[in-house]
Amino acid sequence: MSRVANQESADTVYLRPEVKIEPLACGWYAWPYLVTPAQLAMNLKFRFLPLMQSFMSNPAVHAAAGSDPKLFAGPFVTLSSNEVPRVRQLFDETLSRCSDLMALAEALKQLDSLLQETASGFSLNEFYQKLPQPLQGLVELTYDLNNHPAIRVLEELLYDEQITAHTQEIFLAPIPERERTFFMNTPRLSSPESMTFKMRFSDQRLDTLAAMRTRPKSFKSVADLFDVPEGDMATFRRLFTSTPPQSANGREYAGDGTRVRYFGHACVLVQTASTAVLFDPTFAVEPADDGRLTFNDLPEFIDYVVLTHSHQDHFCPEMLLQLRHRVGRVVIPRNNSGSIADPSLKLALRELGYHNVEIMDFFDTLSIPDGEIVSLPFAGEHCDLNIYSKHAILLTIKERKLMFLVDSDGRDVALYRRLMRRISSVDALFLGMECEGGPLNWLYEALLTKPISRKNNESRRLCGSDSERAWNIWQEVKAPHVFIYAMGQEPWMRHLMGLEYDADSIQLKESDKFIARCIEAGAKAERLFISRELLWS
């Protein structure tokens, strides 16, 4: 072998498994509402800027709260007082670099306030003359049938404005999963071990980087691809290793039946020899000795990724960017077009570099090898907001019927009775039982144009079924196999969920009650955690 060949072999590296590839918008972890322009504007103006101001004014309060595990997901910046100058720098940069977004957010709030105060059923034509400049040509004003006014944002045109392109970055850092700060309360600041690249989320170079979790590549070639400055070369080099990742645990399936693999939270992979369907990808990327399946255990090609709704633990840009190079089609629900609370998942996916997207209305059927995917109504969990972009799924594969009801609420038992008239029978039911959930303002506060009372806020929660409402569902579905999932307890989900149950947590008690009831009725029932594999012949 020549000297050149030996050097190239020695230079072959993998991305270290502990390195996280985080998409950032204006320095903040990019959850779905930071990928879409109007929602990014509202969160910057009315959530992140006030949060940074609060931290700069009294960092000791934030530091004390950040040390309390019970306040992990609260409105407290989890940084030390020493970081005040860097947070102030980010604050000033946000004001200067994102002035168009700030103006858009202010204009949306002002226009909505004007409509709510003065539009009473008379023609809205005169309001078009009063549109703030940032909204001119980008909105339609409407009434509902009870004369309540609303703003419909023309999202497609808003993306044309390119007001978010310069805000997008990719942050690479070797952060252990348990040390990741909560996605909504702490900006990502650089460290001696991290690298930040100003690049669009759709940049195809990310496919090369993500593939290096399992496929080696010359370090020089990837450094050249990312145009790494010579002064940063040592830091960039530490993100890679010449040690191959742990061997994949049966990533491909060639059996005659159906294999179901649980990757944690709501991430479920269903495989036959010819088809792979992956639900709500939020998987671990670093190995551990807890029996987990990781990114490395996913098949080389995933025919369909099914996204059930737009919450950060189901539609996760970080995970989707790393899968992009190995996905065939993405299946999503239709959205309530133009609603501030319900941005288009199709447009968000396009911003993430996905273009082969299948949009489904309720009861639409998508034929796939060995079966079909059917979109079903998804009731509850969205704080009573008029959000359309959510669906449950019936997957029929090799004559097995798997029903994924995600975080559905069983208050209206008649809904499930009607569903089963169409479906007739189900072999396995997957149901989330986060039965308490955060209040309305936890996720949506920045989008509200009027304050909500504490009483009303606490009554409207991001919750699914408790034991009684789950039992309502099972009595209609009568699935012989029941799996409680999407409980957010896996260690790699902490930065997205902020949840850590103890033995007395209502979520565990309620799910235990439901499981016991199902078993008593003759069904096999369990609560999934970390990983699970099922084989059906």
Measured in residues, the chain has a length of: 537
- Cα R_g (the chain), whole angstroms: 24
Q: What is the pLDDT averaged over residues 47-67?
A: 96
Per-residue pLDDT tens digits for 139-194? 999 999 999 999 999 999 999 988 999 999 999 999 999 999 999 999 999 999 99
Find tokens 């077009």 and name the residue: 337
Q: Among residues 376, 254, 389, 386, which one has the least CA distance to residue 335? A: 389
pLDDT in the model for residue 250? 81
pLDDT in the model for residue 3? 45
Architecture, CATH, for domain 258-536 = 4-Layer Sandwich (3.60)
pLDDT band with cut points at 50, 70 and 90 for residue 10: low
Per-residue pLDDT tens digits for 187-222? 999 999 999 999 999 999 999 999 999 999 999 999
- 523 contacts: CB under 8 Å, gap ≥ 6: 474, 478, 479, 480, 481, 482
pLDDT surpasses 70 at 475: yes
Per-residue pLDDT tens digits for 465-474? 999 999 999 9
pLDDT band with cut points at 50, 70 and 90 for residue 80: very high
pLDDT surpasses 50 at 28: yes
Find tokens 């009573």 and name the residue: 384
Note whether 33 and 48 are within 8 A (CB).
no
User: What distance in Å separates the CA atoms of residue 325 and residue 211, rounded to the nearest whole number?
Assistant: 8
Amino acid present at 475: Q
DSSP string, 335-370: --TT-TTS--HHHHHHHTT---EEEE-TT-EEEETT
Lowest pLDDT segment from 244-248, 427-431, 484-488, 516-520: 244-248
Find tokens 């479920």 and name the residue: 268
List, in sequence order, every beta strand (DSSP E) within 185-298.
195-198, 217-218, 240-241, 258-262, 268-271, 276-279
Q: Among residues 80, 103, 92, 113, which one has the least CA distance to residue 186? A: 80
Note whether 530 and 290 are within 8 A (CB).
yes
Per-residue pLDDT tens digits for 348-390? 999 999 999 999 999 999 999 999 999 999 998 999 999 999 9
pTM above 0.85, yes or no: yes
User: What distance in Å separates the CA atoms of residue 388 and residue 342, rounded to the nearest whole number?
Assistant: 7
Per-residue pLDDT tens digits for 230-239? 999 999 999 9
User: What distance in Å separates the CA atoms of residue 237 and residue 239, rounded to the nearest whole number?
Assistant: 5
Which parts of 31-180 fold into alpha helices (H)? 32-35, 37-43, 49-57, 59-66, 84-97, 99-118, 155-160
Consecutive H or E run containing 3: helix 3-10
522: left (phi over 0), alpha (psi -120 to 50) or beta: left
Q: What is the pLDDT averaged over residues 429-448?
A: 95
pLDDT band with cut points at 50, 70 and 90 for residue 337: confident
Determine the Cα angle at 366 with ends 360 and 367, to 5°: 175
Residue spans of the domains in the chain: they are: 19-165, 258-536
pLDDT band with cut points at 50, 70 and 90 for residue 246: confident
Mean pLDDT of the chain: 95
pLDDT surpasses 80 at 536: yes
Q: For residue 187, what is the DSSP state?
A: -
pLDDT in the model for residue 499? 86
pLDDT in the model for residue 8? 46
pLDDT surpasses 60 at 5: no
